[in-house]
Amino acid sequence: MKQSIKHSLRFKITAIFVSLVTLTLLGSWFINNFFLEKFYIQKKMGTLIDTYYQLEELVSMDITDKDNWEEVRERQNRLKQVRDAHNLAFLCTDTSYQPVVSVASDKELLSKKLIGYMYGGNQNRTLIATPMENVRIELYYDETLRSAYMDCWGYIGDNYLFIVSVPIESIRESVQISNQFLIYVGIIIASVSAILVYFITRKITKPILELSQISKKVANLDFSARYLGKEEDEIGVLGNSMNELANQLEQTIEELKNANIQLKKDIEEKVQIDELRKEFLSNVSHELKTPIALIQGYAEGLKEGINDDEESRNFYCDVIMDEADKMNKMVRKLLTLNHIEFGQEEMIMEQFDIVELVQSVVNASSIMIQQKNAHVTISGMKEAIVIGDEFKIEEVVTNYISNALNHLQSPNNITIHIYEKGDKVRVSVHNTGKPIPDEDLEKVWIKFYKVDKARTRAYGGSGIGLSIVKAIMDAMNEQCGVENKQGGVEFWFELKKGEIISESEETLKIIK
């Protein structure tokens, strides 16, 4: 669901920028309105005093000396330039108020103002400064002309009077015009700036929105999204950090998933082993109960002399010995499996002929083969030197052949095939019979596990023979397996190929 943005960052940045522009313009207006006139007056005061010094230098020159005429004209021209540049009017007279130097369009007005200052006749005047003892600067408002002036007047030496006047009404008008101009320009600048900033900030907000979408996907455990921006600023750093976060989360969650799967497997295996253990204890107790009862019964019979003839006593003894042998075999198998699984059984690695070993196990099992009416065929290699623990491999082959005989069905064929497979020699034992369900193929190696409980119980199996096979092959770091083949089931194991060497050169390797 797309989340609505109530307070857009673009709008905020635009509003802040426009506010700053507006405040700047208002500040400029405030400075113009309240400080520009004072600044102007200060600047003009300096100009008026400079003009006074130039007048002082001019009137102090001897104009009767022809050598000074050129300099006098130069100074007069300079005063005219000052007048034109600063809109000044000035008048210098002698003590009888006769003009000596005049640069003004209305000499009579300046002369009246000077006389008025000298005799205190001018009204609406305000003293601003007295830069020197004989010089005053005053503001004067002419009610007739309705104009304000700043006048600098006083004495030049003992023989001359002067007045320099500049109108200040123009500065007030300039302030008003400037303020109006700032208002108009400010509105235009603020409007244009708002539009430009609004669109420019898209470059900032767009990657932020992309990062927001990526964070939402990460929150929903979708780690496929990545930030692809190439910025080298703070947003680029944030994007790279977001990508690293997504990678770390993806890796961590994947590890947690794998750990969870493994934990489930461990729990299932534990539950399964626990069930098998309970079933095994039940089967073992059942299997032991019968021979123990037989042994006890026949032993009591012998003691009480139920049958006095020697043949009956021998029969009782044979039953007792047979049942004791069954229990002994079961205990030995359990001890063997336990020793192998806990590394207490040493593996003596040596070279031997696996073909010869298989043939000897088949010959040793001839009675069982005849009892089952089985047809055993050995095919493949005539000689195969392999490396392994010969005694333990003999037990593996014995278990495979016993398992094949116990599950044999018509036409009662057992095929033992020995062949090369890469750098290994594989021995497979195939028996005709009912296939193992696919879901049970990998479970046949689990100790106490029985695919067909009734059949296993019938031939006295305990469900640990194949577990011993698996433990032996794992202890030698070799492989074994089972497959459903056409017409039956095939069990196999592999051993590394050896080399034919003389007996004196043969070495043994012990694996613990």
Mean pLDDT by groups of 10 residues along the chain of 512 residues:
56 76 78 75 84 81 68 79 80 84 74 84 80 87 81 87 83 73 79 78 72 74 70 72 77 84 87 72 66 76 70 76 73 68 73 94 89 91 92 90 89 93 93 88 75 50 76 89 91 88 39 38
pLDDT on residue 380: 92
Question: 419-423: long-range contacts at Cβ-Cβ below 8 A with a sequence spacing of 24 or more?
Answer: 419/380, 419/381, 420/381, 420/384, 420/497, 421/494, 423/496, 423/497
Report the alpha-carbon distance of residue 171 to residue 47 in Å, rounded: 15
91 - beta bridge partners?
Answer: 102, 163
Contact 354, 427 (CB under 8 A): yes
pTM beyond 0.75: the answer is no
List the one residue out of 393, 376, 401, 413 whose CA is nearest residue 493.
393
Three-class DSSP labels, 33-54:
HHHHHHHHHHHHHHHHHHHHHH
pLDDT on residue 232: 66
Contact 131, 124 (CB under 8 A): no
Two tokens at 249? Answer: 């989360």
Q: H helices within 60-94, ranges in order?
A: 69-86
Report the alpha-carbon distance of residue 19 to residue 16 in Å, rounded: 5
Residue 411: asked if its preceding bond is cis (omega within 30°), the reply is yes
Report the alpha-carbon distance of residue 72 to residue 79 in Å, rounded: 11
pLDDT on residue 510: 39
Cβ neighbors of 118 (< 8 A, separation 6 or more) are 161
**DSSP summary character for residue 340:** H
Other beta carbons within 10 Å of 493: 25
pLDDT on residue 274: 77
pLDDT on residue 20: 80
List the one residue out of 446, 449, 433 whose CA is nearest residue 484.
433
Phi (first) and psi of residue 411, to 5 degrees: -90, 25
pLDDT on residue 480: 92
Cβ neighbors of 434 (< 8 A, separation 6 or more) are 407, 409, 489
